[in-house]
Homo-oligomer: A and B are copies of this chain.
Amino acid sequence: MGILSGMRVVESSAFVAVPLAGMTLAQMGADVIRFDLPTGGMDAGRWPVAPNGQSLFWAGMNKGKRSVALDVKTPRGREIAQEIICAPGDDAGLFITNLATQGWTDHATLAARRPDLVSVSLRGDRHGRPAVDYTVNPAVGFPMATGPEGSEEPVAHALPAWDAIAGGLVVSGLLAAERHRLRHGSGQAVDLTLKDVAAAMLGHLGIIGEHAVTGTTRGRAGNSLYGAYGQDFPCADGRRVMVIGLTARQWQNLLKVTGLSEPMDALANALGADFRDEGARWHARHAITAVLAPWFKARRVADFAADLDRAGVTWSEFRTFSQAIEDDPDLSPDNPIFSEVTQPGIGTYLSPGTPFGFSGMARDPATPAPLLGQHTEAVLADVARLPEGDIARLFDAGIVAQPSRAALRAAS
């Protein structure tokens, strides 16, 4: 059932942020209807792909949604999309998009059909320019503060972090505006840009303030934890671990478990520093690492893992994606958020449901992404309330589409 059971959200989207927002809502129980061209959206082939060319990305980002294939390049197709978005229902009239630049899904246009519509539109930047995670990130400065100390090469992150952060805000903005509608009856156009999400974060993290009051900002610091202590260490077995001394307790636990309190005190004395102060640890990080590194270099991860856990040290191992997927019980059916799901046209593999646990309801296992157009007929009938004959004519005219009966049978 899910905590958002009964809510209906329509999505016109591509790529990460808005699809992820829709999926987050779907995995909390909302009926999320995504519409795409019968040939698929811009992200229909987004990598990674299966050997048969099917997009594993698309399958990952659209789990639990309903899919409508609709030729919105035709006037009737657009009208049907608008009917679906604006269909009646107290818990409907909710729309999320990152494609509103196309005009016909503008809030004003839609609100003429349903005045209490809540729409959330994510755009590139406030000037109407396109932007993606890969361009927003360099623009605000993170790649120039990433990678080895002393390097001059920018390093872009591999995680589409701004997209994922913006996707979370799309969910929050939608739920906040719907909450307001419940109380006051009024709809709302919620606007957000990917660039503003990143720009605001520079402020939230104190980076803009730092520039203002110190005239400078942080530079590259390799894998060091910024502003306190945390470092990666190669071990005797060729593995590498990340070890954290951010809080006073983490720092003390680390010294205790390695038995290096004494040389660390000597180091602090030599430097005239007090390592109880996180800034002092940051300034002395290279010297601190020199004291700690031989301890890790002389040991295999298996030699110290249990001790570190017992001592409450905050640490982890560096893994490749494949190592993590193969070795980590948190990435296995042992973790209740995961289950083996059969994705039609691709295969059966481990898929995550919502990471939330809600005490008042059972955890729903993950469900697959739909086939493109899998729910076209159902949504035209149940949501747009079109008569059977009209629906047949739309199929005949190629304005709407759905997979073959055989594919639908195989998928359900």
Contact = CB atoms under 8 A, between A and B. Distances in A.
Given A131-B314, A202-B331, A324-B202, A359 B208 contact: no
A319 B140 contact: yes
A79 interface: no
Given A139-B319, A246-B132, A323-B141, A61 B154 contact: no
Contact of A212 (B130, B173, B222, B347): B347
A318 B173 contact: no
Nearest to A354: B200
Nearest to A196: B355
Contact of A203 (B180, B350, B356): B350
Interface size range on A against B: 35 or more
A161 B172 contact: no
User: Chain copies in the assembly?
Assistant: 2
Contacts of A207: 48, 321, 325
A267 interface: no
A202 B321 contact: yes
A58 B204 CA distance: 9
Main secondary structure of the interface of A (DSSP, over half): mixed
Interface stretch (A69-77, A145-153, A378-386, A391-399): A145-153
A189 B358 CA distance: 6
Interface in A265-301: 277-279, 282
A104 interface: no
Nearest to A23: B204
A105 interface: no
Contact of A214 (B51, B129, B196, B320): B51
* Best-surrounded residue of A139, A175, A178, A192 (most CB of chain B within 10 A): A139
A351 B48 contact: no
A252 interface: no
A113 to B, nearest CB: 16
A346 B213 contact: yes
